[in-house]
Amino acid sequence: MIEARNVIKKYGSVTALDDFSVEIPKGKIGILGPNGAGKSTFVKIALGLITANSGKVTVLGESLDKNSVDIRRKIGYMPEHDCIPNHMSGVEFLIEMGLVSGMDTPNATQRTHEILGHLQMGDEKYRKIEEYSGGMRQKIKLAQGLIHGPEIIFLDEPTSGLDPKARLEMLDTINGLTEIGNTNVLLSTHILQDVETVCDHVIIINNGKLQMKDNVKELMKRQNDFIQVRVGGDIDGFVDILKNNKINVTTDGRILRVPYVNDQTFQQIIDAAVENNCQLYEMERSKVTMDNIYLEVVE
């Protein structure tokens, strides 16, 4: 869907993307990364708003060097910040965005009402946008990105500033509308749960470089329960005993991670410590979450 090869983008002395290469498949892709990681820069380059200092980017098989404006017919964009004019109604605004995308008036009008129907906006759609709640404004922002039936939509922090209920509604809406419309999604966010809810794949960027690219389901499998164990004495012997009992152990200095199967696992650890005659200082059940994986990759 999107391919970047050795992309370098500098703002003065700051390097936003540093020899960045990635191949993003079709589907719903999440881009994660801390502030200043280069996520927004990558999205803007993919959208053709800014050009890279070097490297090559292709979107939907078309090179941005040759066709950075016309490619936007196939792309929708939902920016992070509030950017909708307050003086227009939801309907007027969406029709205008449809027309600016190249639709004719009847099509833009029909599609506007279809999308707003999916968004379950009743008569509110005729009210001025300044009267809309935060959640409704986000929905309108999403709708304007989908109005022209793009093949791919770039979503920049779509749940930013929403309360938990509105956030879940927004994620449902994104899932619903993009699935009905067969639209690919590139979701840039800080919120890991958003990626879990919406995306099939995730890429993690930090310091302008690709840190990780994985399937979200595969990552979720890594979200296992484990028991964190801290022991004194002969760790190697302790580990050997556990391995002999067919327990996979990972070590990080004097801290061990033992996969949690059931409460019997605690007894197996105690038995191994007794057998090896080593001190058992700590035993705590824990869980690998997307947050842990993200922090591990970023740090």
Partner 1 sequence: MKDEAQVSEKFAKYDPKLTTRPRIVIGMGLRGFFNLIKLNKKGVWNLALVFLIYLWSIVFFVLMAGEGNVYPCEQMNSEFKYCQPIAYYEDLGLGGIRLFLVTLAAIASGGLIANDMNDKSLHLYLSRPIGRLDYLIARFIPIFLLLIFVTVVPNLITFMTQWSNSGLEFDWIKNHKWLMFDIIIQGIFYSTSYSIIGLTFSTLINREYRAAGAFFLFVYGTNIIVEIFHSFVKDDRVLLLSIAHLLDIVSFKIFKAEYYFTSFGDLKGIELSNIEIFGALTIIIGGCGIFVNWMISQMEENK
Residues that bind partner 1 (CB under 8 A): 11, 40, 44, 47, 49-50, 69-73, 75, 77, 79-86, 96-97, 99-104, 107, 111, 114-115, 117-118, 144, 148-150, 180-182
Pick the closer one to partner 1 by CB: 107 or 215.
107
The least distance separating partner 1 from the CB of residue 299, rounded to whole angstroms, comes to: 26
Pick the closer one to partner 1 by CB: 25 or 102.
102
Pick the closer one to partner 1 by CB: 174 or 239.
174
Q: Can you count the helices (H) and strands (E) in the chain?
A: 10, 14
Please give the single-letter amino acid code of residue 66. K
The least distance separating partner 1 from the CB of residue 281, rounded to whole angstroms, comes to: 49
Residues 148 and 163: their CA atoms lie apart, in Å, by 29
H/E run at residue 11: strand 2-11
Pick the closer one to partner 1 by CB: 49 or 220.
49
Pick the closer one to partner 1 by CB: 119 or 231.
119
Pick the closer one to partner 1 by CB: 100 or 261.
100
Residues 88, 91, 95: CA angle, nearest 5 degrees: 95
Query: Mind giving me the DSSP string for 154-175?
Result: EEESTTTT--HHHHHHHHHHHH
Q: Which residues of 23-57 are buried (b: 16+ CB within 10 A; e: fewer)?
A: ebeeebbbbbbbeebbbbbbbbbbbbeeebeebeb
Pick the closer one to partner 1 by CB: 130 or 163.
130
The least distance separating partner 1 from the CB of residue 12, rounded to whole angstroms, comes to: 12
Can you point out the beta strands (E) in 12-74? Answer: 14-24, 28-32, 54-59, 62-63
The least distance separating partner 1 from the CB of residue 9, rounded to whole angstroms, comes to: 10
Please give the single-letter amino acid code of residue 169. E
Report which DSSP code applies to 25: P
The least distance separating partner 1 from the CB of residue 142, rounded to whole angstroms, comes to: 12
The least distance separating partner 1 from the CB of residue 64, rounded to whole angstroms, comes to: 13
Residues 299 and 292: their CA atoms lie apart, in Å, by 10
**40: which 2 tokens?**
């927004």
Residues 21 and 196: their CA atoms lie apart, in Å, by 23
Pick the closer one to partner 1 by CB: 104 or 299.
104
The least distance separating partner 1 from the CB of residue 58, rounded to whole angstroms, comes to: 17
The least distance separating partner 1 from the CB of residue 74, rounded to whole angstroms, comes to: 9
Instruction: For 246, list phi and psi in degrees, rounded to 5.
Output: 60, 40
